């Protein structure tokens, strides 16, 4: 059996997290090392390793995640000035946790290109 990822342990409530939102399909919680005044992660409860592992059967789930992102961004007061949504995928993008997650960051300006 493969070791649970840290995010699966958060889903299973084996380790604590500052949870922002939860429903049957997803969980949102604050990043432990925030890169912006507001920085939370939105993850599916389904174990999908990365963007590369999303299948056609996940379309509704991914749509739901983005609807949640938009709703939480508004609730947490970052929607009006703008925010960034990032999903690191694989080694070159510095993905460290192999459970699909979307970083949602706001409360400061972000440069482009990201570097």
User: Residue numbers of the site for ligand 5GP (CB under 6 A)?
Assistant: 6, 17, 29-33, 88, 94-97
For residue 51, give the nearest of 90, 23, 24 by alpha carbon.
90
Cβ 91 to ligand 5GP, closest distance in Å?
Answer: 11
Cβ 99 to ligand 5GP, closest distance in Å?
Answer: 8
Query: Could you confirm whether 101 is annotated as catalytic?
Result: yes
Annotated catalytic residue within 39, 99, 101, 103: 101
Specify the residue, 80 or 115, whose C-beta has the smaller distance to ligand 5GP.
115
Q: Where are the beta strands (DSSP E) in the chain?
A: 19-22, 26-30, 38-44, 83-86, 102-106
Distance, in Å, from the CA atom of 104 to the CA atom of 73, rounded to the nearest integer, reads 8
Specify the residue, 45 or 88, whose C-beta has the smaller distance to ligand 5GP.
88
Distance, in Å, from the CA atom of 93 to the CA atom of 66, rounded to the nearest integer, reads 21
């Amino acid at each position: 059996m493969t070791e649970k990822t840290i995010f699966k342990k958060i889903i299973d409530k084996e380790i604590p997290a500052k949870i922002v939102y939860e429903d049957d399909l997803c969980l949102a919680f604050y990043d432990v090392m925030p890169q912006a005044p507001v920085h939370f992660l939105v993850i599916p409860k389904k174990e999908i390793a990365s963007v590369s592992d999303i299948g056609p059967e996940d379309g509704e789930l991914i749509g739901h995640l983005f609807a949640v992102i938009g709703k939480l961004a508004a609730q947490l007061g970052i929607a009006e000035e703008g925010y960034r949504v990032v999903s690191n995928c694989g080694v070159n993008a510095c993905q460290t946790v192999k459970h699909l997650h979307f970083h949602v960051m706001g409360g400061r300006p972000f440069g482009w290109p990201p570097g």
